[in-house]
Structure 1
Amino acid sequence: MHPGVLAGVSVWRLLVAGCALYGVGNATGWSENFEALSQLASLLAGIVYLGLLAYPLFTGGRRHEPQSAWLRGATTVLLLLVAGAFFGLMGGDPGYLPFEHIVTPLLVLVDWCVVGRSQAATRWWHPLTWIAFPLAYLVYYLAADLSMYGFLDPGDDAFAGMIAMLLVSVVAVGYLLYGIGKLGGAVRRANAPAGPASHGGPPLR
């Protein structure tokens, strides 16, 4: 990988990680209020993007991300769920914890659409498995009896329908990301210079 490209991607992913962790700190002071999905999702994003930042150290700078985009996709879906639920179901105020609800979700979406390359190799079934993090939070939410979200009240007759709607929405968003990844890969292949490196798709750099 060209050193300039590696440096640019590294700075970008440091920015994503920094915004995610700043959002967590702003909401929790690093001492409380870690129960909400928005805080846990931003914390996960910060860890994932710090891992991506460090990844080139393990490849000698030849690659800036793993060949599989599963973790990036699952993280992106989770952050978009946070934003969608906050604004669509909770009538959220854009000025309330904007890094968690706006900035970080947008940054991970841009990373998926523009910065990364491995999303072009996403398997068709990956979006079905990207519900793993939302499901894990749901289990935690019910086991801990948190009851912090009005639309997630197990005693409500509409609870099962709400869960089904959220899971279907997560899968639908996942397939939208899948399509974006495949389209981006096709565009890069079409614009790649002729030569051995362009055969069979672009190298994942």
Structure 2
Amino acid sequence: MIWVTAYRLMLILAAVVGLIYTWMALGSPLNPLVLFTVQSNLLLTGFYSWRVVSRWRSPAELKGAVTLYIVITGLVWHFLRMRGASPFEHLSLQGHGLGNFLLHYVTPVMAVIDWLFFDRIAPRPKWAAALTWLVYPMAYLAFALVRGALLPPDAWKRYPYPFLDVDRFGYGGVALISLALAVCFALLGYGLIALHRLINQASRTTADPPAPATH
């Protein structure tokens, strides 16, 4: 549908503008690439760009993975970095303001809407996918810890996020935090699958006319 394509183009635009603002604010072109926020939004941009130009329906598991990663980006930012503050508190057209708002709030919300209400007739994602989706966050964790161990203490974003700071929590503490986050991410994945199935089933029920009564 044309309006679905238009919606996805708006989603891509929001991600691209947010990424440009972030790149401009952080200076070096390589710095932002260490951030999960940037990586997840790049994945989102690539996936939906492919969906716009391709006629092939994407597997539900692939779309679910992209959705989960961008939702993780938004929730971690809001609850662990912003500590539940208003999303509009630091919104501005300069520095990180607009970029943060677009990459942490706009793209996650738009992606969830797409996940729930578009491609509803696609094959249902399997429950096991929620665990498979954790491979990328775990790989990112390994990348962040190895990178931090190899960099000097004064390096920029030696540990990309405060809760991964080995100097502060030690490897044991970071392992416990990571385990707790992994459990939360798995539950989040199951939640996305459950909502997708629920809405998909409701859509099918609404679309199928009731069987005529027999006497």
TM over 0.5: yes
Alignment of structure 1 residues 184-199 onto 2, 5 Å = 184-194=199-209
Normalising by structure 1, what TM-score? 0.81
Q: Give the unaligned 5+ runs of structure 1.
A: 1-5, 60-64, 196-205
* Structure 2 partner of 1:24: 19
The verdict on how the C-alpha distance between 1:119 and 1:27 changes in structure 2, with shifts beyond 3 A counting, is farther
Indicate yes or no: 2:82 matched with 1:82. no
Which whole-Å CA distance do the structure 2 matches of 1:119 and 1:167 have between them?
A: 27
Distance 1:148 1:187 in 2: 41
User: What TM-score comes out, normalization by structure 2 length?
Assistant: 0.78
Matched residues in 2 for 1:90 and 1:125: separation?
30
**Which of 140, 150, 174 in structure 1 is aligned with 2:189?**
174
The 1-side partners of 2:16 and 2:136 are apart by: 18
Unaligned runs of 5+ in 2: 92-96, 149-157, 211-215
Write the distance in 2 (CA, Å) between the matches of 1:17 and 1:99: 11
1:99 is matched with: 102
**What is the rounded CA distance, in whole Å, between the counterparts of 1:181 and 1:84 in structure 2?**
19
Which residue number corresponds to residue 147 of structure 1?
A: 159
> What is aligned with 1:37?
36
Deviations 1:114-163 (A, max 9, x none): 12325651111111111122122112212221313211123424211100
Whether contact under 8 Å (2:18, 2:103) holds in the other structure is yes
The correspondence of residues 85-164 of structure 1 with structure 2, limited to 5 A, is 85-91=76-82, 94=87, 95=91, 96=97, 97-117=100-120, 121-145=124-148, 146-155=158-167, 156=169, 157-164=172-179
Distance 1:40 1:117 in 2: 27
**For 2:116 and 2:7, how far apart are their aligned partners in 1?**
14
**Structure number, greater radius of gyration:** 2
1:13 counterpart (5, 8, 12): 8
